[in-house]
Chains A and B, each alone.
Chain A
Amino acid sequence: GAGVSQSPSNKVTEKGKDVELRCDPISGHTALYWYRQRLGQGLEFLIYFQGNSAPDKSGLPSDRFSAERTGESVSTLTIQRTQQEDSAVYLCASSLDTTSGNTIYFGEGSWLTVV
């Protein structure tokens, strides 16, 4: 596609429910990143994929968070048993690969509100 596409763009969920956030990266981009941004804050790195592998999962805030990627394309970020502190915008980004100097392109984000 022309850019990084994320869905849903907005999600309101009840505390304790599970949510799935989807990311379609730019075609041909092997690197895919997930970030979290709380209101008025900077970016918090969650996880990245090179191909379908996630070499570094240390950024995931807790074991309620998981992510997968298939076909070196679509990625899903799953949050189980959501808590109010999970409310944030979840940004997905992609780049050609993870080597140095590649521009990282961001999606519009999935705005999650846990009530």
Chain B
Amino acid sequence: ELKVEQNPLFLSMQEGKNYTIYCNYSTTSDRLYWYRQDPGKSLESLFVLLSNGAVKQEGRLMASLDTKARLSTLHITAAVHDLSATYFCAAEDSNYQLIWGAGTKLIIKP
């Protein structure tokens, strides 16, 4: 059974700093998804990582996937307040269903 763990679950940081959110999963999965959720809002797709070694970047966010280590990372560069949100990762299981992490609540202080 595929399980997904994110850490940290809560992160408070200053603007301008760099940080990484980690997403570990327990069994083989070749697809990893990152979503953002603002308070009271729905989920917005950020990245879909489809293969080992995949790296995608959008603005100050960069996501990578290492299928051998069963690890995906979401790196935030020079954080700005607008990036405050909860970030979820999800791994795809053998039935093509997404198994979700618990989410990382990110607060970026101006």
A residues contacting B by CB (< 8 A) are 41-43, 45, 48, 56, 91, 93, 98-101, 103-109
Contacts and interface: CB of A to CB of B under 8 A. Distances in A.
B15 interface: no
A43 B48 contact: no
Interface of A: prevailing SS: loop
Contacts, number: 48
A42 B101 contact: yes
Contact of A43 (B41, B44, B88, B92): B88
Contacts of A93: 43
A45 B90 CA distance: 12
Interface in B24-41: 30-31, 33, 35, 41
Nearest to A4: B42
Nearest to A6: B42
